[in-house]
C-alpha cells in the first residue's frame, strides 16, 4: 500500500525521468546510426601521439552534466515521503499503521535510491553503447588512453566509475534534502536542503581563499586528477573516497530516522 502511495505521489517526476531516458535513447540511436554511416570515412586514431587523452577529456563534461541532472531529480524526489506527509498533516494517520516510523523512512530512501540507480544504469548503458561505437571508429575498441604515459583503461571501467560517481552525488543531494524535510516536517525542506548545499559551497570557497591549506571535499566525487590545469587521468585513492562518501550517505537516513523517532506527531 505504501509503495503504491509513493508511486502516486512521485508519478510526475517519474514520468519526467522516463521522458528524459526516451530522449537520450533517441539521441544515442541517432548517434550510432551516424557512426555506422561514416565508419568508412573516419581515419582518426584514438592513440594520436599529439593528444592521446583527447577523447578521454570528453568524459569530464559528460560526467558533470549527468551528475547535475540526476542530482536535480534526486532533489525533487526528496520532497516526497514522510516529511511531506507530516507537512500535509497526514503523518498522524500514516504513523498509526502497524509499522515503525523507521519502516516508512527506509521505504522512502530505498524507493528513491532504487530509482536513481536505475536512471544512472540505463543512462550509462546507452551512453556506453555510443562511446563503444565511437571507439570502434577510432580503431581503439573497448579501451581509452587517458594520458600519454598511462596504460589504456577499458570503457566498461570508465562507465562504471562514472555511474558510481553520479550515484554518490545524487544520493548525497537526496539524502541531505530528505533529512531537511524530516527536520522541518514539510516538503518545503527541499528549499532548506538547497540552502544547505549552497552554504556549503560558499564556505568551501571562502576556506579555499582564506585558508588554502584546508581542503573541504567537493560535493561531486573527484574522478579525475588535475594539476596546474593539466589533466592527469583518474584521481588517486578513488576506492577510499568512494567508501567514505558511501558511509556518509548511509548516515543521512540514520540521522533522519533518529529525528523522526523523536518527533511529536
Each of the 265 residues of the chain gets a pLDDT tens digit; together they read: 667 777 777 889 999 999 999 999 999 998 888 877 765 455 444 444 444 455 667 788 899 999 999 999 999 999 887 777 665 555 555 666 667 878 888 988 999 999 999 999 999 999 999 888 887 777 666 777 766 666 778 889 889 999 999 999 999 999 999 999 999 888 888 999 999 999 999 999 999 889 988 889 999 998 887 665 566 667 888 899 999 999 999 999 999 999 888 876 6
Q: Hey, what's the cell of 27?
A: 539521441
Sign of torsion, CA 92 94 99 105?
A: negative
Q: Among 221, 234, 60, 63, which residue's Cα sits nearest to residue 146?
A: 234
Q: How far apart are CA 137 and CA 41, in angstroms?
A: 9
Residues 29-68 as b or e (16 or more Cβ within 10 Å = b): eebbeebeeeeeeeeeebbeeeebbebbeebeeebbebbe
The predicted pLDDT at position 251 comes to 96
Residue 53 inside a domain? The answer is yes
Residue 20 inside a domain? The answer is no
Place of cell 514539510: 186
Residue 193 inside a domain? The answer is yes
The predicted pLDDT at position 262 comes to 83
Residue ranges making up the domain that contains 235: 42-262
Residue 23 inside a domain? The answer is no
Longest dimension (CA), the chain: 69
**Tally of structural domains, the chain:** 1
Residues in the chain: 265
The predicted pLDDT at position 48 comes to 43
Question: Would you say 53 and 140 are in contact if contact means Cβ atoms under 8 Å apart?
Answer: no
Residue 15 inside a domain? The answer is no
Q: How far apart are CA 46 and CA 53, in angstroms?
A: 8
The predicted pLDDT at position 144 comes to 77
Question: Would you say 28 and 127 are in contact if contact means Cβ atoms under 8 Å apart?
Answer: yes
Residue 184 inside a domain? The answer is yes
Burial label for 94, CB within 10 Å (0-12, 13-18, 19+), is: middle
Residue 33 inside a domain? The answer is no
Residue 139 inside a domain? The answer is yes
Burial label for 23, CB within 10 Å (0-12, 13-18, 19+), is: exposed
In terms of phi and psi (left: phi > 0; alpha: psi -120 to 50; beta: otherwise), the region of 81 is left
**Strand, helix or coil at 234?**
strand
Amino acid at each position: 500500500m505504501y509503495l503504491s502511495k509513493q508511486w502516486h505521489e512521485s508519478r510526475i517526476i517519474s514520468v519526467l525521468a522516463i521522458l528524459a531516458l526516451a530522449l537520450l535513447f533517441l539521441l544515442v540511436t541517432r548517434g550510432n546510426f551516424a557512426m555506422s554511416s561514416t565508419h568508412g570515412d573516419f581515419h582518426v586514431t584514438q592513440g594520436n601521439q599529439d593528444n592521446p587523452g583527447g577523447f578521454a577529456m570528453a568524459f569530464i563534461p559528460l560526467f558533470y552534466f549527468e551528475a547535475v541532472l540526476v542530482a536535480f531529480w534526486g532533489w525533487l524526489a526528496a520532497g516526497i515521503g514522510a516529511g511531506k506527509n507530516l507537512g500535509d498533516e497526514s503523518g498522524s494517520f500514516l504513523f498509526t499503521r502497524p509499522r515503525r516510523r523507521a519502516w516508512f523512512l527506509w521505504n522512502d530512501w530505498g524507493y528513491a535510491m532504487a530509482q536513481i540507480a536505475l536512471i544512472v544504469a540505463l543512462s550509462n548503458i546507452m551512453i556506453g553503447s555510443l562511446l563503444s561505437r565511437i571507439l570502434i571508429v577510432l580503431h581503439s575498441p573497448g579501451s581509452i588512453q587517458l594520458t600519454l604515459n598511462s596504460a589504456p583503461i577499458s570503457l566498461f571501467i570508465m562507465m562504471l566509475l562514472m555511474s558510481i560517481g553520479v550515484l554518490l552525488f545524487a544520493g548525497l543531494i537526496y539524502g541531505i534534502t530528505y533529512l531537511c524535510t524530516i527536520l522541518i516536517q514539510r516538503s518545503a525542506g527541499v528549499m532548506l536542503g538547497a540552502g544547505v548545499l549552497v552554504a556549503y559551497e560558499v564556505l568551501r570557497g571562502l576556506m579555499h581563499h582564506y585558508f588554502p591549506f584546508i581542503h573541504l571535499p567537493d560535493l561531486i566525487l573527484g574522478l579525475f586528477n588535475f594539476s596546474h590545469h593539466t589533466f592527469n587521468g583518474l584521481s588517486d585513492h578513488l576506492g577510499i573516497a568512494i567508501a567514505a562518501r558511501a558511509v556518509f550517505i548511509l548516515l543521512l537516513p540514520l540521522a533522519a530516522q533518529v529525528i523522526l523517532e523523536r518527533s511529536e506527531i
